[in-house]
Amino acid sequence: EGNKSTDLRYIRRQFTFKEGDPVDYSRVNLTRKNLYDTRQFRRVDLNVIKENNGYATETKLNENPPWNFRYGFAVTNQLQTSDRELGVTTDFSYSNLLGKAITTGVSMKYTREEREARTFGSIPVFAGRNATTTATLFRRREFHADADPLNPTVITDLWGFTVQQQWRLRNRYILSYDYSYKRNRTFDKNLDPNDPFAFDITIPIARFNGTLTRDTRDDILNASRGTLLSNSFEVAPPGVGSSIKFLKNYTQYFRFRPVKQRLVWASAVRAGFAQGFGGQDLIPSEKFRAGGGTTVRAFQQDQLTSLSGNALFVVNQELRFPLLWRFSGVMFFDAGNVYSTARDFNPFRLRYSPGIGIRIETPLVLVRFDLGLNLFRRFGEPRSRLSFGVGQAF
């Protein structure tokens, strides 16, 4: 009762029991969870009723509106660094195409370093299993920080598509894998196009990616307990449409441990390695970079080293403590480096940044201000840097 738009066969597929099975309330509860997980229903009532010949299940559903329009602030993560960027986003979607919870729509995002538009479609079932399959067509422009991070001159234009499947496994593990193709044009907007040395390169890049994640954090933006473990492996072999052949792996581990009431010790370790096949070098947009409000906070965004590299190592330790009212404080110590090649990786050759910060819990989001100090600064580098962001640094 109540399935006005959702296909009855799709609803029945969520049931974990069938006619003739003995009454098992754990299966009833699992069925209720499955129906909620489809995101098609705002309310699900399953009642077991005794009848003359046994028991029957009464099902009452209240569907969500299929049309969705959302807009607001976006906090996104960068794969190479896990840096969060604050921007604005909007998306328009229909979430129950053909009554089978198929979602289709368009979205747009605007941040200081990125502009993106995409159209997407998502199917929640694959071969009778609850595996989400998503196809995305996108166009994106990225602005890379250089000598003047507020006025970047190196720009990357990309268009392409991604086909992904995601499986929710036991014990909060999520497995996803995808194939993506993108056409990458990287250029310097200030160079004369008639200059034979002008930097304007167009490269097709295709790769397979597999990611395994386990997330037990109690809050994504302000965790006080739990862990995040994620490993992403990419390969661009010959014959898949890529002009650059490479391997890349990125691992991150976050741990949040309450010491006592509202006193939290937060730790993070991030490491990445990349290697081209046959001596090929990766283009800058595929390499790692660090520096900024969520990696090594004494440095400008992506300016920990002058050049991006094929290896990355970042370690963070942070103590979070209450102050008064909506204010809290942190003391942190960041260390990290970006290495030109994987062979240059050395976990003891790092740049360091101790510091302090303030957190303000607003009715909407947690706002952070951090002051990072540059230990052993080099010529031309500032002694400190003040950064601002949304959510905790990691």
- Coil/strand/helix, residue 11: helix
- Tell me the HSE value of 205 on the side-chain side, using a 13 A CA sphere: 23
User: In the CATH scheme, what is the code of domain 8-63?
Assistant: 3.10.20.310
pLDDT in tens, 107-148: 998 887 789 999 999 998 887 777 899 999 999 998 876 545
CA end-to-end distance (rounded Å), the chain: 45
Pick from 58-62, 77-81, 200-204, 231-235 the range whose average pLDDT is largest.
Answer: 231-235
E strand spans, the chain: 41-51, 54-63, 67-77, 84-97, 102-111, 114-123, 131-144, 154-168, 173-188, 200-215, 226-236, 246-260, 263-276, 311-324, 327-339, 351-361, 366-373, 384-390
pTM attached to this predicted model: 0.80
pLDDT at residue number 83: 47
Tokens (6 digits) for 129 = 């299993």
Bigger pLDDT: 69 vs 329: 329
Q: Is 7 helix (H, G, I), strand (E, B) or coil?
A: coil
Start and end residues for every CATH 2.40.160.50 domain found in the chain: 73-390
Residues of the chain with CATH 3.10.20.310: 8-63
Q: Does domain 73-390 have CATH number 1.10.10.10?
A: no
* Average pLDDT of the residues in 18-38: 86
DSSP letter string, 242-308: -SS-EEEEEEEEEEEEEEETTEEEEEEEEEEEEEEGGGPPPPGGGSB---STTS-TTS-TT-SSSS-
Q: What is the pLDDT of residue 79?
A: 44
Span 139-192, pLDDT tens digits: 999 887 654 555 567 788 999 999 999 998 888 999 999 999 999 998 887 777
**Mean pLDDT score across all residues of the chain:** 89
